[in-house]
């Protein structure tokens, strides 16, 4: 039948398909002597001329109690029996839930996604050995779920994935836990190092020391992650983020969000000196560098109107969306004083210019003064 026209398989293709079905325990070969070749004896050299047919697999070699034991060991739940339909459904549903949870962890893909710098021979071996048995268990449960295998066969496959040995199950479970911790540790390190690399030096010894120690901790424990070390690293990481975030946001809000800068600017712009500076700075002879400096300082102050939710941004990055940074925080706070110095220096410079050119200015202005006075006199005579 498998070789029937027009789309039938060649003989070798049929042999391969039937062998795969025997390996999956869907069938057993029957020989001319009445012997059966199942998945256990499939590794022997097959003489195809001796095979006269196939048949469904014979009964499981495991007792129902042993099969139930493995179902309970895997899922952590107790079951009634394999005889009642209701109990069988409970077992199937519980196994399916376990398989779905296993697949949701996606350990294989998470391990493959790690950068090469996180990998070594030990980790590769750990990943291969720890996931193989549990993956075969999940595949068997999936086959039971779609009806390709009966429940007993599925439970038997679970037992055989661990050589029907509780100690093997414990060993594989421990390896799996170690792999999970390693992946979690690598993921935590990737997140933390990315965040730390964008942090600024605060100038606060405690905060900067915490940052340095966190770097060292991640480097030291990367390849020897255990449940304890990963938890400790995570706690250390959470603590640093909290301390750094509070420090940054406090300085940010004092500098940018606080009305201090705008109030100081308003005070300056109400003074007579500012009025004088504004009017004189456009006159020829006034040093333009002071005018440019005042405009730059004004622009910096006016741009410091932050409208971002800084605390929310810090969930993914150690900086705000506005131009503020810790390195320039002191300079920003001193902007009003800097502007006031520019105003005073500009006016002093202009007065010095007037004094230095007093004679020239008199010579230029004297004819205009005389003409003005003469005109006033004539107007008075009339």
Question: How confident is the model at residue 5, as a pLDDT?
Answer: 67
pLDDT digits (tens, 9 = 90+) for 197-229: 999 999 999 999 999 999 888 877 665 656 567
DSSP 70-138: HHHHHHS-----SSSHHHHHHHHHHHHHHHHHHHHH-HHHHHHTS-GGG--HHHHHHHHHHHHHHHHHH
303 vs 95, higher pLDDT: 95
CA distance 15 to 376: 126
The pLDDT score that the predictor gives to residue 106 is 86
This model's pTM is above 0.75: no
Question: What's the mean per-residue pLDDT of the chain?
Answer: 83
Contact 210/239 with Cβ under 8 angstroms? yes
pLDDT tops 80 at residue 162: yes
Q: Which residue has the higher pLDDT, 128 or 168?
A: 168
Query: Taking residues 311-331, what's their average pLDDT?
Result: 87
Assess whether pLDDT exceeds 70 at residue 303.
yes
Q: 19-43, pLDDT tens digit by residue?
A: 888 777 677 788 888 777 777 677 6
Helix (H, G, I), strand (E, B) or coil at 292: helix
Segment holding 291, helix H or strand E: helix 288-302
The DSSP symbol for 304 reads -
Is the pLDDT assigned to residue 90 strictly greater than 90? yes
C-alpha distance from residue 242 to each of 199, 246, 257, 314, 347 (Å) = 13, 6, 20, 10, 48
Q: Tell me the pLDDT band of 381, cut-offs 50, 70 and 90.
A: very low
Query: Which range, 77-91, 100-114, 179-193, 362-376, has the best average confidence (pLDDT)?
Result: 77-91
pLDDT at res. 76:
93
50 pLDDT higher than 70: yes
Average pLDDT over residues 124-130: 79
Note if the bond before 365 is cis, omega within 30 degrees: no
Cα separation of 122 and 111, whole Å?
13
pLDDT band at 60 (very low <50, low <70, confident <90, very high): low
Mean pLDDT of 124-131: 80
Residue 367: burial class (beta carbons within 10 Å; 0-12, 13-18, 19+): exposed
Long-range contacts of 103-106 (CB under 8 A, 24+ apart): 103/138, 105/180
Above 80 in pLDDT, residue 324?
yes
Q: Where are the beta strands (DSSP E) in the chain?
A: 28-31, 36-37, 51-55
User: Is pLDDT at 319 greater than 90 in this prediction?
Assistant: yes
């Amino acid at each position: 039948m498998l070789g029937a026209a027009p789309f039938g398989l060649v003989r070798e293709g049929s042999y391969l398909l039937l062998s795969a079905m025997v390996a999956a325990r869907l069938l057993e070969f029957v020989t001319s002597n009445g012997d059966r070749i199942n998945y256990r004896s499939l590794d022997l050299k097959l003489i195809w001329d001796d095979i006269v047919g196939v048949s469904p697999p014979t009964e499981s070699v495991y007792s129902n109690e042993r099969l139930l034991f493995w179902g309970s060991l895997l899922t952590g739940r107790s079951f009634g029996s394999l005889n009642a339909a209701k109990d069988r459904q409970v077992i199937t549903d519980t196994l399916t839930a376990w398989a779905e949870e296993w697949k949701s962890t996606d350990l294989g893909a998470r391990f493959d996604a790690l950068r090469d710098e996180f990998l070594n021979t030990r980790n590769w071996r750990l990943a291969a050995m720890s996931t193989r048995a549990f993956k075969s268990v999940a595949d068997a449960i999936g086959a039971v779920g779609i009806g390709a295998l009966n429940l007993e066969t599925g439970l038997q496959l679970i037992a055989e994935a661990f050589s029907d040995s509780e100690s093997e199950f414990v060993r594989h479970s421990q390896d799996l836990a170690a792999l999970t911790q390693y992946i979690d540790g690598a993921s935590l390190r990737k997140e933390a190092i990315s965040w730390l690399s964008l942090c600024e030096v605060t100038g606060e010894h405690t905060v900067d020391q915490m940052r340095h120690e966190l770097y060292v901790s991640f480097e030291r424990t990367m390849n020897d992650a255990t449940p304890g070390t990963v938890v400790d690293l995570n706690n250390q990481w959470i603590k640093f983020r909290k301390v750094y975030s509070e420090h940054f946001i406090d300085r940010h809000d004092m500098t940018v969000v606080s009305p201090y800068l705008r109030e100081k600017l308003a005070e300056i712009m109400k003074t007579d000196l500012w009025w004088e500076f504004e009017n004189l700075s456009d006159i020829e002879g006034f040093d333009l560098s002071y005018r440019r400096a005042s405009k730059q300082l004004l622009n910096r102050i006016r741009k410091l109107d932050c409208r971002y939710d800084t605390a929310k941004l810090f969930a993914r990055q150690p900086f705000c969306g506005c131009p503020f940074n810790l390195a320039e925080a002191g300079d920003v706070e001193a902007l009003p004083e800097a502007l006031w110095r520019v105003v005073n220096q500009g006016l002093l410079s202009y007065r010095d210019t007037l004094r230095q050119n007093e004679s020239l200015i008199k010579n230029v202005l004297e004819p205009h003064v005389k003409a003005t006075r003469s005109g006033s006199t004539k107007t008075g005579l009339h």
